[in-house]
Structure 1
Amino acid sequence: MGRISGEIEELMQQGKFPNGLVLSDVRNARLPLLTPKLIKQMFEQHIKTIWEWLLDDKVCRIGVYGMGGVGKTTIMMQVHNMLLEGQIMFRDVYWVTITHSSTNELQNKIAKAVGLDLRNEEDCRRRAATLSNMLSKIGKKLLILDDMWQHFPLDEVGIPLAGNSCKIIITTRSLDVCRRMSCQQILKVEPLPEREAWTLFLENLGNYEGLPMESMKIA
């Protein structure tokens, strides 16, 4: 009986994870995203505005909205890279692309980003509690939720609501989504002026001079 009790105690000790059950991949969390060279110049004012909001402790949720293809994701990629370069504002910055995800899928994507495995937990409430507990332990962090098509109650997903240790930026095509996500600051991204749009087009095209006349007219 004493031997069995000893084995049980040993197994219980092996099952304890004082720092949480986390497989954190710092390489992924700190990996810069590729952006066009001209983006920072063209969207400089938007980037500056978002940066100021990130510095404000009273702002925890930021919404960036505008029509598809207008540059929301590209702006946030630039902000993401600037945060990684500075490494002064947040302990970690996580990028999660949502696009028509269910609550369960969103939980899995965020969990994967922070190095947590929720695949063996089916109960949505327990998944939310586990994810919230994990995020609360990380320290000050930023979640960039890209391409959100519908709103999600943060508590049901498992994103901590208390304090300002977890900031969130969402990109979406809908102002209504920003409002329903209770974003404290909202930025609308308009299409680029014609000259800047043309400059960006040529930058990505490369050899414009070599285009046939018909293609030049279309361009």
Structure 2
Amino acid sequence: MKIRKKSIVAIILILFLFLLPLASAYATTYYPTLKFGSRGSEVSKLQQTLNNKGYWAGTVDGIYGLQTEKAVIQFQIANKIIIDGIAGNQTLSILYSGSSSTYSTNLYWLSRIIHAEAGAEPYNGKVAVGNVILNRVKSGDFPNTVKGVIFEYYKGIPQFSPVEEGTIYNTPSAESIQAAKDALNGVRPVGSSTYFFNPAKSAGSWIIKNKTYVMRIGNHVFYR
């Protein structure tokens, strides 16, 4: 009888040791709920991850403000989950798991428009072009995705000449790709600018009359 009990205990112990790793592997990770007004390192992590994936959450300052809330909502819409502006467990699990391909898509197109528009420009000018594209994404006056902004048409005319000329379909240089990454990470050399043009190639009359001059970098002038 004692031998039988020992055998049963041994079997139970073996099963426990075998199943423990499986249980750990399938254990659910729970994240703290973050919402408007939240502060701290977890908010900073959220902001940085959103920015990296192309959802502009603003400066990484650890403060869950309106811009961060807007970025969370955009992420929720893109991933077809509950839209409440709150970074709960479902939202954070998807965000941190890397299941969203938005960042890769944004990097893909942003690096190509930078290369097409500013391939011969100084590095800061490359980042500035990415800055303008992302400002348009954030604005309610333009499409809300990088690809949408780049391929936007107005009265049948592409907003960016590389789309019309076909040069958007290029192989970007390593510098153009890095400039796109910097722009996605929040580097903003031209602030809130939403327009730019090369005065040697275009008069830019409408922009000059209706927008505010910001600065010149290389051959491009930037307006907001």
Q: State TM-score, norm by structure 2.
A: 0.25
Greater helix content: 2
Greater strand content: 1
Question: RCO higher in 1 or 2 (8 Å CA, sep ≥ 6)?
Answer: 1
